[in-house]
Chains A and B, each alone.
Chain A
Amino acid sequence: MTKTSLLSGGVSRRGVLKGASAIGGAALISSMGARKAQAQPTRGGTLRVAQAHGSTTDSMDPGSWENDFTILQAHTRNNYLTEIAPDGSLIPELAESWEASADAATWTFTIRSGVQFHSGHILTAEDVVASLRHHMGEDSTSAAAPIVAPITDMRVDGMNVIFTLASGNADFPFVLADYHLPMLPSRDGAIDPMTMDGCGPYKIEELEFGVGATYSRHEGYWKSDAAYFDAVEQIVIHDAAARQNALISGEVDYIDSADLNTVHLLQRAPGVVVLSVTGNQHYGLPMDTRAAPFSDNNIRMALKYAIDRQQLVDTILNGYGAVGNDHPIGSGQLYYNTELEQKAYDPDRARYYLAQAGVDSLDVDIHLADAAFAGAVDAGVLYSETAAAAGININVVREPNDGYWSNVWMQLPWCGTYWGGRPTQDLMFSTAYETGAPWNETYWSHERFNELLLAARAELNEDLRREMYFEMQQICSDEGGALIPMFAAYVGAHSDALMHGEQVASNWRNDGHRIAERWWFA
């Protein structure tokens, strides 16, 4: 599930690493899927999607969307100003084009004309402003409030919207692809956040939170080469066995997550294709860098060398993932630091850093619950085994799933976390690593890192930018408080009658949650 991650994934901004050459970023499509994916899309059929998440307490309000059910609903019903393409590049959606001032602080977006909502309303620039304003201001209850906070002014000029930002941001168009920011119809300068209307590929016929939703195709949809299904059905199936059974018995066509413990059995089922996509989703064990003993970087380094990353990938992820290197940038991203040494399990080096810190053994508590990520408690127990060899006694404290994000995460000095990742390096670092960021879960504060972050954000020279991001990953890995042992793949499965494009987006599950628009039946 995606507790907060606003955006994620993305291979490159300009499609540099397009294709399978990008080991982590490009979709690792199973051989069967790849072979079948060549067919031409055809219209028709009802896509039935079973999802692991979705609660009766979900809401239509875009500011509240946080789980896969609401986010898939969002992309099935709505369109956004910009879209992250399957290869991770940014492409226009409701914004036809955009242009930045030299300092990247003023942005002019040209809105596509003639876009029709399900209700018949035609999209205006005022709708755009109202849709974004819903998340802004002091009384905003939106989870996206921090990401739109840098917008200081929005001005309408015909079909153009001119944004003024507090400071230059070369990645601003990526921000507008965030799933909290769909374009909704406005009246008198405000949107109704509870509306069921939208201008996306499918219109809602019936929706009951925690149960499911049905959609029919929006015949006035402006994209001609998309939305091949006649109808779409979303069904919430919390139980992993029930979900996989529904796929095997043909009651659904696609399940958004497979149980990693039984996925090898699912693979054997006839007519079922397992789809694994590795993107930027990563699991971490953030340490509060203000609290002893984690305030000493030697202790942090000792802990980073005391974990067996490969073992965690093999056992906790059942091999569906890759080792992490204590920074949040995925190996498929444009500025991924290829020169950084991969940290591996090394008890001697861990001991060396302990000695540097002036101690010869260490007792620490780690607070984990499976709410942090699936298998977090098991990961902690495995970790404590390997760390013991380095003289580090890790006491795994099992915390309740219920209330984990308000009572444990960012409250206790060492816990577990997960991130869906962000499409750009800047968004990821400024969300969770910049000093004072609301989600800086390690309370880390590094002067040089912050300087580089600001400089890189407004830097338009590719080489300089690369250099800066390389250094930031180095700093993060060697001095940061985030222990990031693994990147986890999105593992789903579908019937072999279901087809998808050559590349499946890795920014989110469900082909970037655009499965209803991008996939088709053979």
Chain B
Amino acid sequence: MSHIWSMIAKRLALGLLTLFIVSLLIFGATELLPGDFAEEFLGQAATPETVAAIRRELGLDLPMHTRYIEWLTGVLQGDFGNSLSNRRPVIELISTRLGNTLFLALYAAAIAVPLSLMLGILAALFRNSFFDRFSNASALTSISFPEFFVAYILIFWLAGRGGMFPSMASFRGDPSMAEMLYRTFLPALTLTLVVTAHMMRMTRAAIINLLASPYIEMARLKGMKPMRVIVKHALPNALAPIINVIALNLAYLITGVVVVEVVFVFPGLGQLMVDSVAARDMPVVQAVALIFAAAYVLLNLTADVLATLSNPRLVHRR
């Protein structure tokens, strides 16, 4: 087992290096964008005097590397700085939205992962049947439509006058868990429809791939039921690729849902990122980018650890 721990430690160290490089790239890219914070902040109202005054006040007139090093020193001390535009601490700005994003991602994952595993196993079990074709076709259809279209269709059917669900997912104050699940059901469902196909088809493909192996043949010849063959014998060996796909989709649920946020008026990290990039609000852009990058790093690490654990040959290595 010790090599797993050392792998985790190594990967975490590499992850930190990745985050550092990401922060450099994002900083450089934000600098390359035309216009700086002072100009974007004032927009059409900008005059040279006010732009210069804002730059002086926020230290935007300092050279690029000085500003980056200043930011980095702050971060290393646990201080992500303040938003340039409304001067609120970045941590405070991000915390509620990160909570919202994680809530929605987990909610969607809690529906999508079991659903797609189940559908994948059943599709493998009854492959080439009507059920297989139907679930494949509907999953592919829902992934092929743009997210906002799926969202509008769901709103059209399930919300609106006399609808069952609200079309606006935002909530105020301190709602109960049930209320939150109810209000965010449509966005979670939209995301489920968008990510299910990928996971389901990987599950199906990975299992079918194994069904031709001699040990499955053996299991069948022993007279086992098809369901037991698949769940007990094929699935454990198919776990590694499935876990990887699930991790990728979870990362997507955290980082890529801005369209769904906009349609359902859900205050998540995506909209914050878009607004901050448009305003060139560097500290916020950096912090959100680091969260997104960290989500990928951690989920990939988790996937690799789980994939290793699912394979006895890797766990008990000589």
Contact = CB atoms under 8 A, between A and B. Distances in A.
Contacts of B166: 249, 251
Interface in B8-48: 33-35, 39-48
Given A60-B86, A139-B53, A210-B271, A245 B167 contact: yes
A403 B167 contact: no
B278 A402 contact: yes
B287 interface: no
B172 A206 contact: yes
A140 B85 contact: no
15 contacts: A61-B86, A66-B42, A140-B49, A141-B50, A145-B50, A210-B271, A210-B272, A211-B170, A211-B267, A235-B170, A239-B265, A245-B159, A403-B34, A403-B40, A405-B44
B167 A59 contact: no
Interface string A115-148: 0000000000000000000000011111101100
B43 A141 contact: no
Given A235-B170, A241-B152, A56 B275 contact: yes
Contacts of A407: 34-35
A4 interface: yes
B265 A237 contact: yes
Nearest to B163: A249
B109 to A, nearest CB: 24
Nearest to B49: A145
A406 interface: yes
Contacts of A248: 160-161
B298 interface: no
Given A64-B41, A140-B53, A241 B46 contact: no
B262 A242 contact: yes
A238 interface: yes
B155 interface: yes
B265 A64 contact: no
Contact of A56 (B39, B48, B54, B272): B272
A206 B171 CA distance: 12
A242 B39 CA distance: 31
Interface of A: 3-4, 55-61, 64, 66, 138-143, 145-146, 194, 206, 208-212, 214, 235-239, 241-242, 245-246, 248-251, 402-403, 405-407, 409, 417, 438-439
B168 A4 contact: no
Given A57-B86, A140-B53, 10 more contacts: A3-B43, A56-B275, A145-B47, A210-B272, A235-B265, A238-B271, A249-B167, A251-B168, A438-B48, A439-B47
Contacts of B272: 56, 210
B136 interface: no
A57 B275 contact: yes
Contacts of B168: 235, 237, 242, 246, 251
Nearest to B48: A438
Contacts of B49: 138, 140, 145
Contacts of A242: 155, 167-168, 262-265
A138 B53 contact: yes
B196 interface: no
A57 B87 CA distance: 9
**Main SS of chain B's interface residues?**
helix
A242 B173 CA distance: 22
Interface size class of chain B, counting residues whose CB lies under 8 Å from the partner chain: 35 or more
Interface in B252-282: 262-265, 267, 271-272, 275-276, 278-279, 281
A403 B161 CA distance: 39
B263 A241 contact: yes
Contact of B167 (A246, A402, A439): A246
B43 A405 contact: yes
Contacts of B159: 245, 249
Nearest to A246: B168
B50 to A, nearest CB: 5
Contacts of A58: 85-86
A251 B279 CA distance: 30
Contacts of B48: 438
A439 B50 CA distance: 13
A139 B57 contact: yes
B83 interface: yes
A143 B172 contact: no
Interface in B45-89: 45-50, 53-54, 56-57, 83, 85-87
A55 B46 CA distance: 18
Contacts of B239: none
A263 B287 CA distance: 40
Most buried by A among B96, B265, B275, B284: B265
A477 to B, nearest CB: 23
A403 B35 CA distance: 6
Most buried by B among A60, A236, A403: A403
B155 A245 contact: yes
Contacts of A66: 42-45
A212 B96 CA distance: 14
Given A138-B49, A245-B159, A406 B41 contact: no
A239 B262 contact: yes
Nearest to B264: A242
B309 interface: no
B106 interface: no
Contacts of B53: 138-141
A3 B86 contact: no
Given A143-B50, A237-B168, A406 B276 contact: no
B40 A238 contact: no
Contacts of B93: 56
Contact of B267 (A4, A208, A249, A402): A208
Contacts of A245: 155, 159-160, 167
